[in-house]
Each structure stands twice: as structure tokens, then as C-alpha cells.
Amino acid sequence: MAELRARTTPSREFRRLLGEISALMVYEVCRGFATESCEVETPLERTHGRRLARPVTVVPVLRAGLGMTSGVLSMLPDARIGHIGVRRDENTATPIAYYTRLPDDASEGPVLLVDPMLATGGSADHALGLLHAAGCRDTRFICLLAAPEGVARIHTSHPQVPIYAAALDRELDDRKYIHPGLGDAGDRCFGT
């Protein structure tokens, strides 16, 4: 996290770290996923194993959430991918939705909503509302940094949704940026 936060970390390294931390977080996020028995043919004989019982869908919040997707998929390579486009109005800090595309059967299994930053909670709240409107009930939110204000908003709006954060930072400033934070994750990830 220290390298990710450092202002001197170049985009290439920022993307790598973003993916690596996201992959590590998946172990905890998936801990309670339902599994089912399956048969496996080894080179010597048949045996029993376990596999996920329901399909997993990963939904990055565009655009910064894309930086976490490869890390999550490295642990869940069979996951399907949806997309929710929400950007923050810089003057009002309110979410502006511009795109939603989900697998038709996303509600049949767990949905992992990924976005590196949980600041005010506006974008996450909006995206979770879209997922719940689509029938998704087993949703989990994964972020790298969270501000107390965003956590409180999600706990109020979507109390059933667990939040997985690599770090809980101190506060939001008057512009609604997380402190100590890491800057704009999308800009740092994509070099803009």
C-alpha cells in the first residue's frame, strides 16, 4: 500500500500493485462462497473435489475499477464480467451514471462490485442500487481505500453488503478526496 500511495509510483507499477492487492483480497471475499462436490479424473483414478456452486460475476465501476479486474480474475478466472459506468460530478460530488451492462443471469451467484476508492459512497451506492434492481442479492463491495463517510453511507443504504477494504483512511477533505489517500486512482492507473 505504501508503494501504491507514493506520488512517484509510475502508472505501470500502480496498475501492477492495484492488481496484486486486489488478487490478495479475493481470498477473504470468497471465504463464504458456496461449493459443491465434483468428481475429478486424476492420472491414476477418479476422486472427489470441490468447486464453486454458483457463477461469480465481477462488476468494475468504470473506469478505475478496471484496474482491479485483472487481479480479481487471476483468482476467479471463470468469473463473468459486467460493467457499471458512474462518474463523479466534480462540483457536487454526486454520481452521474452513463453505462450499465450485466450478464443476464448475474443474480444467480455472488456479484463482486470493484472500485478502488470508497469516498462519499455515492458511486458505490448508485451501483449497488443498480445491481439490486437487477435482482442481485449476494453482492460484495471491494475497494482499496475507504473513507469513514463512504462506509457509513453504504452501511446505511445497503446494510446487507459487506465492504472489503485494504485500508480505512482518516477522512474526506472539502473537495471529497480521501486523506491520506493515493490521489485519483483512475488517473494514476491510466496515466491521464
In angstroms, the Cα distances linking 5 to 65, 74, 144, 169, 179 are 17, 23, 11, 12, 11
174 is catalytic: no
Find the farthest-apart pair of alpha carbons in the chain and give their distance in angstroms, rounded.
Answer: 65
- CA distance linking residue 27 with residue 23, whole number of Å: 8
- What sign for the dihedral angle of Cα 152, 158, 159, 160? negative
47 is catalytic: no
16 is catalytic: no
Q: Which of 92, 105, 137, 170 is catalytic?
A: 92
187 is catalytic: yes
Q: Find the length of the chain.
A: 192
Block residue for cell numbers 443474480: 107
Q: Which of 89, 105, 173, 187 is catalytic?
A: 187
- CA distance linking residue 153 with residue 159, whole number of Å: 9
User: Which three-class secondary structure state does DSSP give residue 60?
Assistant: strand
The set of cell numbers assigned to 81 is 464480467
Residues acting as catalytic residues: 88, 92, 184, 187
